[in-house]
A and B are shown apart, each in its own frame.
Chain A
């Protein structure tokens, strides 16, 4: 029933890595270290299981192209931080939760349902405008760049190329 154990040292390394990354980009990890590390352990489990660090609080399909919006940090982190002071899992929190002014609560799911996602995919056609370069948008942090292809790694939030969408 249970998954193979994840080495605690690996969890600690991962925790320090994303904490540093989050703080350098103006994000905050949940200060409840035990809760946060248990989520990180689950992300590592998902990396081992699926080959990508899918959100531990959502059901993964096992296919990266279907789950690209829920690879942690997910596409929904920024709007959820803005509206609810936390991401869906409670891994990332707002400054007000960090300082204890607000309390962490479970929040509603923002990700469209499987059927809605299918419809969105069908209706999504890149607009072709008369520009010297297409504009690409990082769906995780909103970084924009005008070039033939998105970068290998987002220079701001470090996510992979497939997290970019054609913006203009």
Chain B
């Protein structure tokens, strides 16, 4: 899976599903970088074919609306959209 990885403090397994063109996705990625946490991210709009379908199904498991950004923490908790407060709270 072509995830990009950002090093930082380990606050659980963080996966950010994002779009390369989306302003709120960018703000979310920059917030995670500011918080200096370790996370992986993937730009779903840049994927093609089977890989794209696979990742879309993955996102839908956590967010049936298939909207972005979708941040998944420890394969369990999901934060949809640039919700700064919720993200900060979850990563204390």
Contacts and interface: CB of A to CB of B under 8 A. Distances in A.
Nearest to A54: B21
A59 interface: yes
Contact of A106 (B20, B43, B45, B82): B82
Interface residues of B, number: 24
B56 to A, nearest CB: 8
A90 B24 contact: yes
Contacts of A46: 21
A111 B22 CA distance: 16
Interface in B5-36: 19-27
Interface stretch (A35-43, A119-127, A131-139): A35-43
Interface of B: 4, 19-27, 43-46, 56, 64-68, 80-83
Given A42-B23, A89-B23, A106-B81, 8 more contacts: A1-B4, A39-B23, A42-B22, A43-B21, A56-B22, A57-B21, A107-B81, A113-B66
